[in-house]
Homo-oligomer: A and B are copies of this chain.
Amino acid sequence: MNLNTNYKNLQQSYLFSTIGKKVADFQKTNPALPIIKLGIGDVTRPLCPAVVNAMKKACDEMGKAESFRGYGPEQGYGFLKEAILNYYKEKGVSLELDEIFVSDGAKSDVGNILDLFDKDNTVLVPDPVYPVYVDTNIMDGRNIVYMNANEENGFLPMPDEAVKAGLIYLCSPNNPTGAVYTKDQLKAWVDYAIDNHAIILFDAAYEAFVRDSSLPRSIFEIEGAKKCAIEFCSFSKTAGFTGTRCGYTVVPLELESDGLSLNKMWLRRQTTKFNGVNYIVQRGAEAVFSPEGRKQIQENIDGYMENAKVIVATMKKLGIFYTGGENSPYIWLKCPEGMKSWDFFDYLLTKLSINGTPGAGFGENGEGFFRLTAFGDPEQTKEAMRRLENADIYKK
């Protein structure tokens, strides 16, 4: 028996476990101030009533013989797929039901989609980046090429004709930088992918936070994208489903290569290695798209974006370079001059009792940067910004 020794190439610790440990250790030493968590990108607002009611009703259905549901379709129930299809229609994107696959979250699908691709593909990944894109490819032994996202390009790297890759990861609105590609920028990526026979793996988990209507919320708003892109989306941030687990992936029917349909391959992958999402959760996800659900989740999103505004205001006040915050729950900021990410992390934690995420954890270009999130409590977010504005480090 031989193990997959690519696992030896993974870095030992996972970013958020390291942070969790540091915070827990610090908590034990009784900090003077209560710790404010603006770190891991987890939501804090409860599920909205429309979702809770729909799930409780589904629980009751599951408890009665006449309405009990056993195995469902691996690709998701029609009722949910239709609601997703209509949601895309509002963005001006026309899909087929067979192009939509319901999953237990974008993270699973972003990882599992790699089953469809050969190990010898070169993978183009932005730096800084959500670590899952990198780790899943290291596990498979693929060659990873990084593209620089930095202050100069506003953390939105563009195609470089000198670089060739089979798989391209794009995330917009971006995690961790909050930066959002324009339609023209995405068009350049689509053109590059088609010219180079590459596939764009497009992570749209934060699309619901886009407020500027000129910015794309789906790569399929871009002409030609159905020939070269797969899109991952999630209810996690949109509707507070981080602990409820539901997402969806769009694999266009047009995607073909080497005599194989990627849509059919993914269907086969999912019917073989997955058994569909819990029925109760799918009813909850359906309720997200109901009129009450839409209204209720929008209130939550608006609440988070109020936090983002508060953080952005402090960035402006202190003259700190930042991206995100306007169309994204993430604010990506430059550490005080010369300070490294983990040093700034330690400073914020031990001096101000603020827990954020060091940019260096997302890649080399993240060094010297830091991520704050808008998912915290409104009062606590304001308090954190007050602490920051009064911090020694920002007193010149």
Which A residues fall within an 8 A CB radius of B?
A: 1-5, 7-8, 10, 14, 17, 40, 42-49, 51-52, 55-56, 59-60, 62-65, 67-72, 104-105, 107-108, 111-112, 115-118, 120-121, 132, 135-136, 139, 166-167, 197-199, 240, 242-245, 257-260, 262, 265, 268-269, 271-281
Contacts and interface: CB of A to CB of B under 8 A. Distances in A.
A45 B59 contact: no
B71 A46 contact: no
A346 B362 CA distance: 58
Contacts of A116: 3-4, 7
Contact of A107 (B1, B40, B104, B273): B273
A199 B2 CA distance: 10
A121 B272 CA distance: 20
Contacts of A272: 14, 111, 132, 135-136, 139
A26 B210 CA distance: 50
26 contacts: A1-B198, A1-B257, A2-B166, A3-B117, A3-B262, A4-B265, A8-B260, A40-B71, A44-B68, A47-B59, A47-B63, A51-B63, A56-B60, A68-B243, A69-B243, A70-B240, A70-B242, A71-B243, A104-B104, A104-B278, A105-B275, A107-B275, A135-B268, A139-B269, A243-B279, A280-B280
Contacts of A2: 117-118, 120-121, 166, 258
A52 B69 CA distance: 13
Given A48-B63, A55-B280, 18 more contacts: A1-B198, A5-B258, A7-B268, A10-B268, A14-B268, A47-B63, A55-B59, A62-B243, A68-B240, A72-B243, A108-B274, A111-B274, A112-B112, A243-B279, A245-B275, A245-B278, A278-B278, A280-B280
A65 B52 contact: no
Contacts of A111: 272-274
A10 B132 CA distance: 29
Nearest to A46: B68
Contacts of A17: 271
Given A7-B265, A62-B47, A68-B47, A273 B1 contact: no
Interface centre among A1, A112, A136, A258 (most CB of B within 10 A): A1
Nearest to A271: B14
A36 B223 CA distance: 50
Given A46-B65, A55-B59, A265 B199 contact: no
B45 A68 contact: yes
B281 A278 contact: yes
A214 to B, nearest CB: 30
Contacts of A260: 3, 5, 7-8
Contacts of A62: 46-47, 52, 55, 243-244
B65 A45 contact: yes
A194 B115 CA distance: 30
Contacts of A60: 52, 56
A132 B165 CA distance: 32
A277 to B, nearest CB: 7
Given A7-B265, A278-B244, A63 B42 contact: no
A281 B186 CA distance: 39
A69 to B, nearest CB: 4
A67 B279 CA distance: 23
Nearest to A7: B265
Contacts of A1: 117, 121, 166-167, 197-199, 257
